[in-house]
């Protein structure tokens, strides 16, 4: 089940009514039962995996402490979590059941992970065990509360990636107020707008550019890579808006996962604003331990931390050449920023005009888009083909219409041209006003005009085919 599927949207109001009718101290039971239904409704084996891993993590956490036996138990539980994650990374759905595909994974959307959301689930459990092992938190005593923390429906499939010390206490006494209801509904509407109107309208443009279209020029290829980065942002941040908004209906506050990353002035700033909960996990559990463990190496400890963090991040997203290259590019970007930090600080102090910030944003966005070429490519051959196209003549061999407009607009027919212009215009306009839209929601201003405009766009311009297919669900 997905947060945007018709069964979910139909059941959600009834669950909310039942939730409000139950005593505050027992409301977590409603959330737990609905979470189990949410996970197991379509594929019961997903629920079995969730229950098995949750039981393993819960009881391992109770016995992890000091001593050699506790240390052995800790490493055994961590290895089992990693083994399950790597195994399911290679499992695909098939008409005859399940089959194992022992080859590199690329950009795909038919993985079993789509249903289980297992990558996020595993990292959440690993963080819980590590925090207990090093005395940062106490083990949860209530199995049912822990199971709800593990499987809470709003964040289960694709995050945000939550820490136990932040989310668990909220389940014990969940009491939504008027602001929670108002802001939750507005975030849900905003998420639907970003997914159905923006991301879904950009999707066919991206699909055409990344396919084998003859006569395509470098301008069209570059535009496709740029559009994919914007599509990915709207698709994933739209999902997070749905998750955060749905949780707010029940008085649960999930971690914000994005903070206007496309306007970042450097790659390091970009990663502090993009997929915040995930990069925070990798920073706390990979980067800082590596840097601290190698602190005698001084500056090289930082470089080693960057390398370990992004190599593991690449493996988490997928196993293959394209994800490896994506990781290496961000390692190079961040290593350069670390090396040139003093020089760049001097430049920023010398050139205080707005143009310097504008150049920084443009440069950062271009570097992110280039890395996303490899993130989006289904395999190394497709990535190589697209890079070759970037070296073609700007309009290719066919001129303006066939070399640029036709690939972007799907042949240049009237309907396709309309979709192209509407998608591009709405996307860039929304990016300009996005911060203002969020500020109005978070400050408690109930803008009926803003809600009405978003709903009108959803019903008139929304693309409803493959409505519950989100890009990041495959990871």
Mind listing the pLDDT tens digit for each residue in 327-357?
Answer: 999 999 999 888 877 666 665 555 555 677 7
Same domain (yes/no): 365, 351: yes
Give the DSSP H or E segment for 404: none
Same domain (yes/no): 226, 241: yes
Confidence (pLDDT) at 146: 93
What is the chain's mean pLDDT, rounded? 81
Same domain (yes/no): 154, 206: no
Q: Which two tokens stand for residue 372?
A: 């996303």
- Extract long-range pairs of 322-327: CB within 8 Å, 24+ residues apart: 322/106, 322/107, 322/374, 322/375, 322/377, 322/378, 322/379, 322/380, 322/383, 323/105, 323/374, 323/375, 325/374, 325/383, 326/371, 326/372, 326/374, 326/375
Helices (H), 163-217: 164-172, 178-192, 200-210
> Of 141, 157, 175, which one is at a domain's C-terminal end?
175
* Full domain range(s) for residue 186: 180-474
Same domain (yes/no): 13, 79: yes
Q: Which two tokens stand for residue 133?
A: 């092992």
Same domain (yes/no): 224, 205: yes
* Residue at 64 is within a domain: yes
Same domain (yes/no): 328, 446: yes
- What share of the chain in percent tops pLDDT 70? 82
Of 43 and 448, more confident:
448
Closest CA relative to residue 225, chosen from 389, 363, 464, 63:
389
Same domain (yes/no): 232, 102: no
Stretch 372-400: mean pLDDT, rounded?
A: 79
Same domain (yes/no): 149, 165: yes
Region of poorest pLDDT, from 71-75, 220-224, 228-232, 285-289: 71-75
The count of structural domains within the chain is: 2
Strand partners, 111: 92
The whole-model pTM stands at 0.88
Same domain (yes/no): 38, 151: yes
Q: Which residues contact 196 (CB under 8 A, 6 or more apart)?
A: 458, 462, 463, 464, 467
Confidence (pLDDT) at 384: 84
pLDDT digits (tens, 9 = 90+) for 285-336: 999 999 998 888 888 899 999 999 999 888 778 777 888 999 999 999 999 8
272 confidence band (pLDDT: 50, 70, 90): very high
Question: Taking 50 as the threshold, does the pLDDT of residue 99 lie above it?
Answer: no
Confidence (pLDDT) at 282: 92
> Of 175, 191, 216, which one is at a domain's C-terminal end?
175
Region of poorest pLDDT, from 111-120, 171-180, 283-292: 111-120
* Residue at 461 is within a domain: yes
> Of 107, 140, 175, which one is at a domain's C-terminal end?
175
* Residue at 463 is within a domain: yes
* Residue at 84 is within a domain: yes
Same domain (yes/no): 150, 108: yes
* Residue at 444 is within a domain: yes
Q: Characterize 117-155 residue by residue with b for buried, 16 or more Cβ atoms within 10 angstroms of its Cβ, and e for exposed.
A: bbbbbbbbbbbbbbbbbeeebebbeeeebbbbbbbbbbb
Query: CA-based angle 434:440:446, to the nearest 5?
Result: 130
Strand partners, 93: 98
Strand partners, 191: none
Question: Taking 70 as the threshold, does the pLDDT of residue 279 lie above it?
Answer: yes
Q: Give residue for tokens 């966005």.
A: 365
Region of poorest pLDDT, from 19-33, 60-74, 282-296: 60-74
* Residue at 150 is within a domain: yes
* Residue at 75 is within a domain: yes
Same domain (yes/no): 99, 184: no
* Residue at 1 is within a domain: no
Same domain (yes/no): 103, 195: no
Q: Which residues contact 399 (CB under 8 A, 6 or more apart)?
A: none
Stretch 420-425: mean pLDDT, rounded?
A: 86
Question: Taking 70 as the threshold, does the pLDDT of residue 269 lie above it?
Answer: yes
CA atoms within 13 A on the CB side of 331: 19
Confidence (pLDDT) at 306: 92
Confidence (pLDDT) at 277: 92
């Amino acid at each position: 089940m997905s947060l945007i599927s018709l069964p979910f949207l139909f059941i959600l109001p009834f669950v909310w009514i039942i939730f409000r009718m139950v005593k505050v101290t027992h409301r977590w039971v409603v959330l737990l039962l609905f979470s189990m239904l949410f996970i197991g409704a379509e594929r019961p084996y997903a629920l079995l995996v969730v229950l098995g891993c949750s039981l393993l993590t819960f009881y391992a956490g109770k016995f992890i402490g000091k001593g050699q036996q506790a240390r052995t138990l800790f490493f055994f539980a961590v290895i089992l979590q990693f083994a399950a994650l790597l195994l399911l990374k290679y499992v695909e759905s098939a008409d005859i059941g399940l089959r194992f595909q022992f080859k590199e994974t690329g950009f795909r959307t038919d993985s079993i992970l789509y249903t289980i959301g297992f990558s996020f689930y595993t990292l959440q459990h690993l963080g819980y065990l590590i925090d207990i092992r090093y005395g940062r938190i106490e083990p949860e005593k209530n199995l049912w509360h822990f199971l709800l923390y593990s499987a809470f429906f709003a964040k289960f499939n694709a995050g945000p990636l939550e820490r136990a010390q932040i989310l668990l206490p909220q389940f014990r006494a969940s009491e939504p107020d008027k602001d929670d209801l108002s802001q939750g509904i507005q975030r849900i509407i905003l998420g639907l707008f970003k997914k159905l109107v923006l991301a879904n309208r950009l999707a066919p443009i991206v699909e055409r550019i990344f396919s084998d279209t003859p006569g395509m020029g470098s301008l069209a290829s570059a535009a496709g890579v740029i559009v994919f980065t914007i599509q990915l942002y709207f698709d994933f941040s739209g999902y997070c808006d749905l998750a955060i908004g749905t949780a707010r209906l029940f008085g649960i506050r999930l971690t914000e996962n994005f903070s206007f990353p496309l306007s970042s002035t450097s790659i390091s700033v970009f990663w502090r604003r993009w997929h915040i909960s995930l990069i925070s996990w990798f920073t706390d559990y990979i980067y800082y331990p590596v840097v601290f463990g190698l602190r005698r190496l001084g500056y090289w400890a930082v470089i080693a931390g960057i390398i370990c963090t992004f190599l593991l991040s690449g493996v988490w997203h997928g196993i293959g050449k394209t994800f490896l290259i994506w990781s290496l590019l961000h390692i190079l970007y961040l290593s350069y920023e670390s090396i040139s930090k003093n020089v760049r600080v001097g430049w920023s102090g010398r050139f205080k005009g707005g143009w310097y910030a504008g150049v920084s944003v443009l440069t950062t966005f271009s570097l992110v888009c280039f890395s996303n070429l490899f993130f989006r490519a289904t395999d190394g051959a497709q990535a190589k083909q697209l890079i070759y196209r970037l070296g073609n003549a700007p309009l290719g061999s066919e001129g303006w219409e066939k070399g640029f407009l036709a690939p972007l607009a799907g042949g240049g027919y009237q309907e396709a041209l309309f979709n192209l212009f509407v998608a591009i215009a709405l996307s860039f306009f929304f990016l300009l006003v996005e911060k203002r839209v969020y500020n109005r929601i978070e400050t408690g201003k109930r803008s009926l005009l803003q809600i009405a405009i978003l709903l009108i766009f959803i019903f008139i311009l929304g693309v409803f085919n493959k409505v519950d297919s989100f890009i990041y669900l495959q990871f």
